[in-house]
């Protein structure tokens, strides 16, 4: 798969594409993955339209940290004892959706990320 032309996650944030939301703050949105690779597979995204994790800078580390805080809080909310956090970075890193996202996966893991 290659990078998509459009930022479909920005369209989810805007409410133009529906999602199965599990968590939201002023800066973060999380929703179930449409093609789950585990029993629980959740996308955690910043509402700011950052394309890849290469855009991390000393000025936005707090926002990237909020992705991990959200993962912890969602795991508690969803009663997940253990989980994997995964991030693909850029096309060569397997990223398809051009919007930063952290995969939260738990249980019955499948291959294909």
- List of residues contacting ligand AMP (CB under 6 A): 8, 17, 19, 31, 33-35, 43, 88, 94-97
Q: How far apart are CB 26 and ligand AMP at their closest, in Å? A: 21
Question: Using an 8 Å Cβ cutoff, are 50 and 98 in contact?
Answer: no
Q: How does strand 28-32 pair with strand 21-24?
A: antiparallel
From the candidates 32, 41, 99, 101, which is the catalytic residue? 101
Between 5 and 59, CB nearer to ligand AMP = 5
CA 106 vs CA 11, 68, 80: distances in Å: 26, 15, 7
Bridge partner list, 98: none
Q: Is 101 a catalytic residue?
A: yes
Between 56 and 96, CB nearer to ligand AMP = 96
Which residues are the active-site residues?
101
């Amino acid at each position: 798969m290659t990078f998509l032309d459009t930022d479909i996650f920005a369209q989810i944030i805007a409410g133009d594409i529906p999602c199965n939301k599990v968590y939201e703050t002023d800066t973060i949105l999380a929703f179930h993955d449409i093609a789950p690779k585990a029993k629980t597979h959740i996308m955690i995204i910043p509402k700011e339209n950052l394309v890849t994790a290469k855009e991390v800078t000393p000025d936005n580390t707090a926002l990237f940290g909020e992705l991990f805080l959200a993962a912890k809080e969602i795991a508690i909310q969803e009663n997940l004892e253990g989980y994997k956090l995964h991030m693909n970075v850029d096309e060569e890193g397997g990223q398809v959706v051009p919007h930063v996202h952290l995969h939260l996966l738990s249980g019955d893991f499948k291959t294909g990320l």
